[in-house]
Amino acid sequence: MRELTKILMILLVVFAASCSIDNSKKGGEKEKFINDLIGKMTLEEKIGQLSLFSAGIDPTVPVSNPKYADDIKAGRVGAVFAAFTTRDIERLQKMAVEESRLGIPMLFGYDVIHGFKTIFPMPLAETASWNPDLIRHTARIAADEASATGVNWFFAPMVDVTHEPRWGRGVEGSGEDPYLASVVAVARVKGYQGDDLKDVSTVAACPKHFAGYGFVEAGKEYAPVDVSEGRLRNLILPPFKAAIDAGALTMMSAFNDVNGVPAAANKFLMTDILRGEWNYNGFVVSDFGSIDSLVVQGYAENNKQTAELAFNAGGDIDMESSSYKDNIPALVKEGKIDIRDIDRAVRNVLNVKWELGLFKDPYKYIDKTREKTRMLTKQNLETARQMAWESFVLLKNNNRVLPLDLKKYRSIALIGPLADNQADYMGTWIAQGDTFNVVTLKQGLEKQLPSGIRLNYAKGCNIEGDDCSGFSEAINAARRSDIILLAIGEKGNMSGESGSRGDITIPGVQSELLYELSKLDKPVVLLLSNGRPLAIEKEVAASDAVLVTWIPGTAGGDAVADVLLGQYNPSGKLPVTFPRSVSQVPIYYNHLPSNRPGDPSNRYSCSYIDIPFTPLYPFGYGLSYTTFKYSDLKLDRKEGGENDIVKVSVKVKNTGDFDGEEVVQLYIRDVAASLIRPVKELKAFKKVFIKKGEEKTITFELKPERDFAFYRADMTYGTEPGRFLIFAGTNSQDVLKEEYLLKE
Ligand code: GLC
């Protein structure tokens, strides 16, 4: 018997070994290459792969390591930040590949947030198009342009959900809803990374800022963040998960703390959730110097401890703080960092370089011919123009003053500091975009207006300041005109990083100019340039039409002129709630119910005694030059289990005089749950073109196991049986409603 057992044991061992050999074959060339390379690396070279430095080429990106060139040649730098020409990237890559001992190629990361050379509308504006295919296309163009210079890693997409219009960085993201933000995150990741990462036009994506940055206290930049785990998991994390599931190769952690633990050293986020629950095997890079700042943030006693805390929490790459470079050797020697974890982090980084094809050809992205031919092409500019069209949101159009009737309006006053302004049509994070390429609104109109139409231009005032001396010229221009176009709003840098505003009204004396012009008893069209929701209740009341143009980018002026003249019927929908005043903030559509829901007629309700509790404009709101009528919301079943599919249909008729696109929105409400759920949650949408007079039936499929699931009171993920409300409509308020029962 003993002999038989012995033979069986031998057979078992041989079988297991063969499996492992098969596995290594399955793991393949990449695993073998990476393991062999790691086996040759010194500790210093390993730490080099975990260090990212600026080469000081972009004046806005300071050099934190003056010895970066020596370090590159010594194999102590794994990635360079903010290099963006073939000349510089080739020079730096050669230092790494041809002068360092192991010749490991470097990543070249850059903030390409809304275009590289062709600048698209800011990401929040792109989201207002509710057109993920177009968003993916603009991301593809950005990757195509940037990769031609050798850039192979974007610090994008920014996927931070936020309810805070005071916070400047909402403009870089996708608004207040986790579903919409997830759809846009996937579109951008797929646009950047393309269908095949080996393609020279692809770059590694980097969803950021993991996590919770959009909930900084009072919307104040870099402020602390305190959120419940339910809000973290149900509202903040979904777009990150969607980006990872879409294949994002890298991730960036946030500056802020999450409930007292800085994101840069947050094990719960970067290890337990990201790697433990989501099986993420890319790398995590810190935000700019955020590892160093763990000391000032009250989390680390000293610089050495910053490296220990951040690395052991799951932070792979140190962006611009030198903390890893300076401290990890000693921490490994002291046993405070395990060399096996170093190898794991290095493997994550080398994996990305392998996936990008850099080991096969470290210079594959550096292409002087592409650098000359791929930028600002006619097609790229046409796409930028289309994206701008589709991003604009028509908030008001009394007496159908738009589109402009040039038979009626023979002379047009164009007034305001945003009317002939290139810089503020670009916004922040403009990468290598050139302001001189921007088409202003004045230029756009001059190109398109027929010769018989007179354009009377006056700036009127500045964006900031209290100088009203230009008012008289503006009023005179208006007096000579049949209609007034007033382009006012924010400067491009009044949003973006370090762009929080405590006052979200229109700055300076621009509103006063509007009120003066509105006394002339001529139609006034307000063209708003904004990087956030603005409190514009009085300005809307003083205008006949209001078009939100956000920060429209290189082709902005052409696009605004197109829409004003009816070349394109606006279809944008708000991805963020517009409050009546900052004192209502935070105010958002997907809020939890109160025990006494707001009721204007009842003081004892979720409301104020001195101001309305309702928003100026709700999430999902946006008008068209035509009108759409919704009817016949139908469910193909009234009840079912979580695996049953619910087919939803709704009829939408174009009842106006223009063909147009409509974003049909589908929301749900889980009426009773172990963790109370929002009064509405967006779960699907379709942007459809409907000819005037035509009616279409729009269909959706709800899958309860996917669409009704949430993190419950015990933080497990899943559905709970009970009543659900299903809504369909043109925005989050004007909806048709049906009931559905989810059974055990
Ligand atoms: C900045 C931003 C981050 C950006 C990084 C590199 O401070 O927070 O979004 O990608 O540093 O510029």
Q: What pLDDT, on the 0 to 100 scale, is given for residue 12? A: 52
Provide CB contacts within 8 A for 52, sequence distance 6+. Answer: 77, 78, 79, 80, 81, 107, 109, 285, 317, 318, 319, 320
Beta carbon of 111 within 6 Å of any ligand 1 atom: yes
Q: Is residue 181 part of a domain?
A: yes
Exposed e or buried b per residue across 379-390, where buried means at least 16 C-beta atoms within 10 angstroms of its C-beta: ebbebbbbbbbb
Q: Which amino acid is at 451?
A: S
Token couple for 592: 């939890």
Distance CA 174, CA 530 (A): 15
Same domain flag for 695 and 575? no
- Mean pLDDT taken over the chain: 96
Task: Please give the number of the atom of ligand 1 that sits closest to the Cα of 255.
Answer: 8
User: 707: domain range?
Assistant: 628-742
252 sits in which H/E element? strand 250-252
Q: Is residue 621 part of a domain?
A: no
Q: Is residue 595 part of a domain?
A: no
Catalytically active residues are 287
Distance CA 639, CA 641 (A): 7
Best probe residue, ligand 1, of 497, 498, 500 (max atoms within 8 Å of C-beta): 497
Residues 299 and 256: beta-carbon distance below 8 Å: no
Q: Is residue 611 part of a domain?
A: no
Mean pLDDT of 415-423: 98
Same domain flag for 578 and 692? no
Distance CA 565, CA 501 (A): 33
Q: What's the CATH number where 697 sits?
A: 2.60.40.10
Pairing of strands 681-690, 710-711: unpaired
* Cα 735 to Cα 208, 379, 727, 731, distances in angstroms: 33, 38, 6, 7
Give the 3-state DSSP-derived string for 105-140, with helices as H, strands as E and coil as C: CCEEEECCCCCCCCCCCCHHHHHCCCCHHHHHHHHH
371-401 pLDDT, tens per residue? 999 999 999 999 999 999 999 999 999 999 9
Same domain flag for 19 and 110? no
Token couple for 144: 């195509």
The Cβ-side half-sphere exposure at 172, using a 13 Å CA radius, reads 28
Q: Is residue 306 part of a domain?
A: yes
Same domain flag for 429 and 443? yes
Same domain flag for 650 and 682? yes
Domain count, the chain: 4
Token couple for 700: 């959706």
Q: How many beta carbons lie within 10 A of that of residue 20, not counting itself? A: 10
Q: What pLDDT, on the 0 to 100 scale, is given for residue 60? A: 83
Same domain flag for 735 and 643? yes
Judged against a pLDDT cut of 50, whether residue 651 lies above it is answered with yes
Same domain flag for 342 and 404? no
Same domain flag for 24 and 72? no
Q: Is residue 101 part of a domain?
A: yes
Ligand 1 atom 8: residue of nearest CA = 287
CA 638: distance to chain centroid? Answer: 36
Same domain flag for 341 and 395? no
- Burial of 279 per CB tally in 10 Å (0-12, 13-18, 19+): exposed
242 Cα: distance to centroid of ligand 1 (angstroms): 21
Best probe residue, ligand 1, of 53, 122, 209, 288 (max atoms within 8 Å of C-beta): 288
| Phi and psi torsions of 269, nearest 5° | -75, -55
319-374 pLDDT, tens per residue? 998 899 999 999 999 999 999 999 999 999 999 999 999 999 999 999 999 999 99
Judged against a pLDDT cut of 90, whether residue 11 lies above it is answered with no
Q: What pLDDT, on the 0 to 100 scale, is given for residue 16? A: 45
287 Cα: distance to centroid of ligand 1 (angstroms): 6
The closest of 192, 549, 600 to 394, measured between CA atoms, is 549
Judged against a pLDDT cut of 50, whether residue 269 lies above it is answered with yes
* Cα 444 to Cα 440, 448, 455, 556, 563, distances in angstroms: 6, 6, 12, 8, 11
Same domain flag for 573 and 695? no
Q: Which amino acid is at 413?
A: A
Q: What's the CATH number where 141 sits?
A: 3.20.20.300
Domain boundary among 371, 400, 432: 371
161-218 pLDDT, tens per residue? 999 999 999 999 999 999 999 999 999 999 999 999 989 999 999 999 999 999 999 9
Same domain flag for 549 and 644? no
Judged against a pLDDT cut of 50, whether residue 17 lies above it is answered with no
Token couple for 197: 């990462």
Q: Is residue 499 part of a domain?
A: yes
* Cα 209 to Cα 145, 205, 212, 290, 511, distances in angstroms: 24, 12, 7, 12, 35
Q: What's the CATH number where 507 sits?
A: 3.40.50.1700
Q: What percent of the chain has pLDDT over 70?
A: 96
Domain boundary among 584, 604, 636: 584
The closest of 382, 384, 379, 381 to 120, measured between CA atoms, is 384
Same domain flag for 288 and 262? yes
Ligand 1 atom 10: residue of nearest CA = 155
Q: Is residue 379 part of a domain?
A: no
Q: What pLDDT, on the 0 to 100 scale, is given for residue 8? A: 56
Exposed e or buried b per residue across 419-456, where buried means at least 16 C-beta atoms within 10 angstroms of its C-beta: bbbbebbbbbbbbbbeeebbbbbbbbbeeebeeeeebb
**β-sheet bridge partners, residue 635:** 648
Pairing of strands 107-110, 79-81: parallel
445-497 pLDDT, tens per residue? 999 999 999 999 999 999 999 999 999 999 999 999 999 999 999 999 999 99
Domain boundary among 348, 371, 394: 371
